Amino acid sequence: MTVLRRLYRYLSRYKAWAVLAFGSMIIFAASQTFMIALIRPVVDDVLTPPSSRTVARDHPSREETTKQWVVDTLLKRDKPEGQRGWLVNNYDRAAKAFGDWWNKDPAERWRKVLFALLILFLVRAVASFFSEYAFQKVGLSTVRDLRNELYERLIFQSHRFFSERSTGEMVSRIVSDADAIQAAVSTRMGDLFQESITLLGLILYVFISNPELAFISLVAAPVLVFPVVHFGVRLRGTTHRSQERMADMTTLLEETIRGVRIVKAFTMENFEILRFREATHRHLDWNLKAQKIQALTSPVMELISALCAIALLAYAHHRTAAGTLTMGAFLSFLFALAAMYAPIKKLNKVNLSVNQALSAAERVFRMLDIDNEVKEKPGAVTLQSVGRGILYDHVTFAYNDEPVLRDVTVPVAPGELVAVVGGSGAGKSTFVNLLPRFYDVSGGRITIDGHDVRDVTLSSLRGLMGFVTQEVVLFNDSVKNNIAYGRGDVDEEQVIAAAKAANAHEFISAMPNGYDTIIGESGVLVSGGQRQRIAIARALFKDPPILVLDEATSALDTESERLVQQALDSLMRGRTTLVIAHRLSTIRNADKIVVLDQGEIAEVGTHEELLTRRGVYRKLYDLQFLEEERVTTLA
């Protein structure tokens, strides 16, 4: 019920459309019952010649008595005449007026029947349009809101959230699960309401028109309901497993496409094909189990319905042979009974679809309920500038139980260039990721201009920073929009100025459409060095006072590295800069070098000072120097 209540909160935003949909469905469902009821006068008054018309004996009087009892009970006619209320009085007036009109000139009754059919079809057509469109409006809008909220929730989550979940799982929640909810809300929920009203109207009609036949026909109703409930419960669990296998398959697909060069380089095509086939086979198994349940439902219900039909025909034969049932009355009853099958069948599909949607909604809401560990405090202040600089004050951090950083204290003066070096796993990336609060410290604090970064707004904190990393992230958009990321209204001259400062203007101008050239997903249509310079131009365009560099030249060739390094020198000028350095030769001019070893500060000093000490930094430097010398010799 919790899932249904949460879904209702989204649906309630479109109450007006929902009321229109429900109202139209009530009219549409009522028209179905009226159409069935008109079959009797169509057969007896329109299609049967006056000379051939017969009146049934005995049973019609009992049926009229039953009908009158139902009406009296519903309208509470047992009350004194003065206390019956507006509904009873107006019903009586309407019934009397209709009776006078209907019984006047019986020879012309066939015209009245056809006129009633015409009006009924017109009302039915209008109600059908508004019921379907209004429900689609509610369903599509609801799922749009749910998708938007889920995406917003994901985009604001911490880095830890993304590191612990696959991309395929998140895509599956937003796309596949939301689609399942949409199908249930926009289509099946409408069917649930409309078919339920139709079924109730038909049940009421068959009991009023012929109670004995109705009792025989509906005695097996509990037998029909049991498989619907049973199959629905089984399908819900099976569908849940199927969606999980779809998420696994999506993850595998994305990983393979993203790493296709590695796959080809290691000639692992057949290996990846086998993995994908195994994933699709698992997905197929659970899909087939779900389809087996769906395929079994209809035959079971049809068999039960057929047995009921045989019993009904045997009893009807007895009544018609005795002359106690007219052909029009029987056909009207038979059509009403047959019409009840379609709503029951649809309601069975609704039950299956709703169970699928509830399973999908549970997964979506579970993801929505995951708490964001990096939260902005109420009343957080706006950070204006670097001010007195940055201070890592006895910072400790752990991803799980094992600390990655231990009691790290590093002051960074305004405008200072600080390099962070160390072996693999020393904690360099973690050190810089804590500054913009991609993660929150486990102990100690980080301050900018004396403000703890946890006490300032995230937008003002990250607005002070620019990032250029080794793994450049570009978007499938134009060069201009990548440089002026999120700023579609800027003057192109500003973009060009940033590109020139990043040594990127020349190659951008040579592109087919210049700054309007689309560079493909992740910038695949440009080289590695060009991607880096576009990323640097993006950072220059933002003009941040704090710059974070994750060795942007380590994966480049010599010429590209030279151009990118020139661009970086232009970018770092006058800014407070933190550099994760893999090539120690690129940080000789750093104001301060922080050497990390197993999460602790091993040394701090300038390049020359650290070489003189012959500590960890000197060992790292000598190893790189020997490696570079060996590569040069081999070349």
* Per-residue model confidence as pLDDT tens digits over 598-618: 889 999 998 888 888 888 888
Which tops the pLDDT comparison, 511 or 76? Answer: 511
The pLDDT of residue 71: 57
The pLDDT of residue 216: 64
Cβ atoms of 501 and 540 within 8 Å: the answer is yes
Distances (CA, A) of 460 to 387, 438, 444, 448: 14, 14, 21, 11
Mean pLDDT of 528-550: 84
- Locus of tokens 């390049």: 607
Banded model confidence at residue 51, pLDDT cuts 50, 70, 90:
low
Banded model confidence at residue 238, pLDDT cuts 50, 70, 90:
confident
**Phi-psi sector, 158: left (phi>0), alpha (psi -120 to 50), beta:** beta
Mean pLDDT of 462-466: 88
- 451-480 CB burial, b ≥16 within 10 A, e <16: bebbebebebbbbbbbbbbbebebeebbbb
Cβ atoms of 476 and 519 within 8 Å: the answer is yes
The whole-angstrom separation of Cα 191 and Cα 46 is: 33
Kindly list the domain boundaries of the chain, sorted by start residue: 12-52+59-368, 383-464+547-554+575-635, 466-543
Which tops the pLDDT comparison, 574 or 594? Answer: 594
Cβ atoms of 578 and 547 within 8 Å: the answer is yes
Mean pLDDT of 495-518: 87
- 429: its two tokens: 């990336």
Mean pLDDT of 338-351: 74
Q: Which residues contact 306 (CB under 8 A, 6 or more apart)?
A: none
CA 616 to the chain's CA centroid:
50
Q: How many CA atoms lie within 13 A of 270 on its CB side?
A: 1
| pLDDT higher than 60, residue 592 | yes
Let me know if domain 383-464+547-554+575-635 sits in CATH 3.10.20.30: no
The pLDDT of residue 498: 86
Which tops the pLDDT comparison, 594 or 296? Answer: 594
Instruction: Summarize pLDDT for 105-154 with one digit per residue, the tens.
Output: 766 777 778 888 888 889 988 988 888 888 888 888 888 888 888 888 88
- Domain spanning 466-543: CATH superfamily: P-loop containing nucleotide triphosphate hydrolases (3.40.50.300)
Q: Which residues contact 190 (CB under 8 A, 6 or more apart)?
A: 21, 25, 131, 132, 135, 139
Fold for domain 12-52+59-368?
ABC transporter transmembrane region fold (1.20.1560)
| pLDDT higher than 90, residue 447 | yes
Listed range (16-25, 309-318, 625-634) with the worst mean pLDDT = 625-634
| pLDDT higher than 90, residue 452 | yes
Cβ atoms of 84 and 16 within 8 Å: the answer is no
The pLDDT of residue 60: 47
The share of the chain scoring above pLDDT 90, in percent, equals 9
Banded model confidence at residue 197, pLDDT cuts 50, 70, 90:
confident
The share of the chain scoring above pLDDT 70, in percent, equals 79
The pLDDT of residue 376: 86
Mean pLDDT of 173-191: 77
| pLDDT higher than 90, residue 387 | no
Mean pLDDT of 399-427: 88
Banded model confidence at residue 56, pLDDT cuts 50, 70, 90:
very low
Mean pLDDT of 240-254: 78
pLDDT, the chain, mean = 78
| pLDDT higher than 50, residue 58 | no
- One fold for both 383-464+547-554+575-635 and 466-543? yes
